[in-house]
Structure 1
Amino acid sequence: MSKTVKDLAAGTAGGIAQVLVGQPFDIVKVRMQTSAKGTYKGMMDCAGGILKNEGPLAFYKGTLTPLLGIGVCVSIQFAALEWTKRYFTNQNRLNGKGGAEGNILSGDQLFAAGVFAGLSNGVVSGPVEHIRIRLQTQSNTNPLYAGPWDAIKKIASNHGIAGIYKGQAVTLLREASGYGVYFLTYEKIVQWEMEKKGIRRDQINPMNAALYGATAGYALWAVIYPIDMIKSRMQTDGFTPSTGQRYTSTLDCVRKVWRTEGIGAFTRGLGPTLIRSPFANGATFLGFEMANRLLNPT
């Protein structure tokens, strides 16, 4: 089995773990991000309303799309990351850098690898998250879409591929900036432990991998949350003026949100994200590292 195929498999394991752990928090975040100001008093009010009005299964509404899609996204993300790390390792060997084996990558190299991973992932994550958000925010009593496949068919039929990729520009901005910081943070902490203890990567305690993933997750959201909020607004907006379109572009969305709702709108829904982040990102890296060890026994 090639290294890339193994990276894809290990990334899929991480992605599935991420969705199963993080989905209930994500729906609360999206509802708060896309609701009118004053709709919810806070995170608990939003979560309580979902539970009361829609039942406990509502917290996993739209899960099929991310379970399949995010699994693919994270597998692509990790495969792109590991490929880029191997490329930089080879460059380091040729240039006599990065230690005896060239595998001690610099911060710039790790950030660049993360940016490449984010952009590679964004091609798939944009439409996946778009469909998920449409399902998460539609009416429970009079839903427009029967499920993810119905949503894809209806949107593609009425608005073409551009409709499926609505909000893609801001998605790519989020993925590039966020994953650059995300993987830089994780990999630097892993490097630190390996150097401090004189151990191999596969000798790191799995719980430490989860802890480092949680830390990387906080670094990710510290950078991207306002961008993510704009992405959610763009992906729940109408497709045309006749279907309730409020924003003509990403910049138009930023200006209108700032003018009408103030700076607080850019951090609305941050609470459930901060609670979700350590569990979802810890699970992602734990799933990836453990799958990697199984696929690459020493």
Structure 2
Amino acid sequence: MSDRIPSLHSVLSPTASVKNAQSSLRSCSYNNANCQGMTTRKLGALAGGKNQPKNPIKAVLAGGIAGGIEICITFPTEYVKTQLQLAESVKPPKYTGIVDCVGQTVRSHGILGLYRGLSSLVYGSIPKAAVRFGVFEALSNRVRDSNGMLTSTQGLMCGLGAGLAEAVIVVCPMETVKVKFIHDQSSANPKYKGFFRGVVQIVKEQGIKGTYQGLTATMMKQGSNQAIRFYVMTSLRNWYRGGDPGKEIGLLTTGAFGAIAGAASVFGNTPLDVVKTRMQGLESHKYKNTWDCAKQIWQNEGALAFYKGTIPRLGRVCADVAIVFMLYEQTVKFLNIVWPEKTQ
């Protein structure tokens, strides 16, 4: 009997390849229906990628955990990027560059000044990443092939859907509050004394609409952001696997792919990010709408103004995307242990 039925270890081992599973399947006796059924079910799971969360709730949990940890690590770069984007072209310029921005902030407010507005992003990054990965998995599970694989185009479209969803549900109000907090930091007498008091004050003064400034620009930015990132990630993963959907992608490789995807999104949509930031700042009343904001930047500051804050944003986003994808993958692995996927 032992020469005809594969051991459980050879089929269920985490290191078992699809090829080995197929070999084990062929070695089963066709008269042994239980063995054949068990191996076929496991083969399907391996072929689909054992870490792929088919349950969107699991993706929501993993995304939220990853997003919360990531923003606490990378926020200072977000702060500097936002300050440079808010600084309009005046002579002499308020900041001569990244180092000067950091120096002025630390001298005026101490090292914790670089974390002004962190609370708004912590409260927002958890649901943002949760919505992003939850929607992406919900959409992608509908279009994956029998091996659980996505094409690059499918990755782009699912990423676009995830980006638009997170923009409307979470990102626009979160980013508006964050930008106002950071912009308020540069005032002689900051008026926002804390996250919740600040939100209440914004709503009292401007209504709920005040937390949705720059919605169009935010949707354009987030939609293109996630479309580019998931397109690049899907393309790199498919290239790395080389036709073997069961091939594991290591943690550092995932991080490297994430950094590349983040860099691609920075160069692809920083102009949208600059417009969004201006529309959400304390001086947003100067602009009639998103298009008028872009027009005024072009006329008054020139084309290069659309790439203000690119370098700090590049550092922040590359680290952001790399960390989030690595944390997401590891969290999904843990959840798959304590909350196994159904194999049927």
> When the two structures are superposed, what TM-score results if normalisation uses the length of structure 2?
0.78
112, 119, 126: which one aligns with 1:64:
119
Offset at residue 128 of structure 1 (A): 0.4
Over 4 Å off, 4+ runs: none
Partners of 2:231 and 2:54 lie apart in 1 by: 25
Q: Is the 8 A contact 2:59 2:137 kept in 1?
A: yes
1:160-212 per-residue CA deviation (whole Å, 9 max, x = no partner) reads 2211101111100111112111111012211222226x4636x3211111111
3-state SS of 2:299 partner? helix
Partners of 1:18 and 1:227 lie apart in 2 by: 23
Counterpart of 1:13 in structure 2 is 65
Counterpart of 1:229 in structure 2 is 274
Unaligned runs of 5+ in 2: 1-52
Aligned residue pair count: 281
Determine whether 1:217 maps to 2:247: no
Look up the equivalent residue of 1:186 and give its one-letter code. Answer: M
Determine whether 1:78 maps to 2:78: no
Partners of 1:232 and 1:134 lie apart in 2 by: 9
Structure 2 matches for 1:22-171, cutoff 5 A? 22-37=74-89, 38-89=93-144, 98=145, 101-123=146-168, 124-139=170-185, 142-171=189-218
Unaligned runs of 5+ in 1: 90-97, 240-244
Partners of 2:136 and 2:180 lie apart in 1 by: 29
Partners of 1:102 and 1:200 lie apart in 2 by: 9
Counterpart of 2:323 in structure 1 is 283
299, 302, 305: which one aligns with 1:265:
305
Offset at residue 139 of structure 1 (A): 3.5
Look up the equivalent residue of 1:16 and give its one-letter code. Answer: G
Give the number of the structure whose residues are more often helix, by fraction.
1
Partners of 1:81 and 1:199 lie apart in 2 by: 19
Bigger relative contact order, structure 1 or 2 (CA pairs below 8 A, ≥6 apart): 1
1:77-125 per-residue CA deviation (whole Å, 9 max, x = no partner) reads 0000111110112xxxxxxxx4xx1522222211110010001110211
Partners of 1:188 and 1:49 lie apart in 2 by: 42
Look up the equivalent residue of 2:94 and give its one-letter code. Answer: T
Q: Is the 8 A contact 1:237 1:247 kept in 2?
A: no
3-state SS of 1:138 partner? helix
Q: CA RMSD in A?
A: 1.8
Question: Identity of counterpart residues, as a percentage?
Answer: 26
Partners of 1:62 and 1:200 lie apart in 2 by: 42
Look up the equivalent residue of 1:126 and give its one-letter code. Answer: C
> When the two structures are superposed, what TM-score results if normalisation uses the length of structure 1?
0.89
1:4-58 per-residue CA deviation (whole Å, 9 max, x = no partner) reads 2110111012212320222000000000000122221111111111112111111
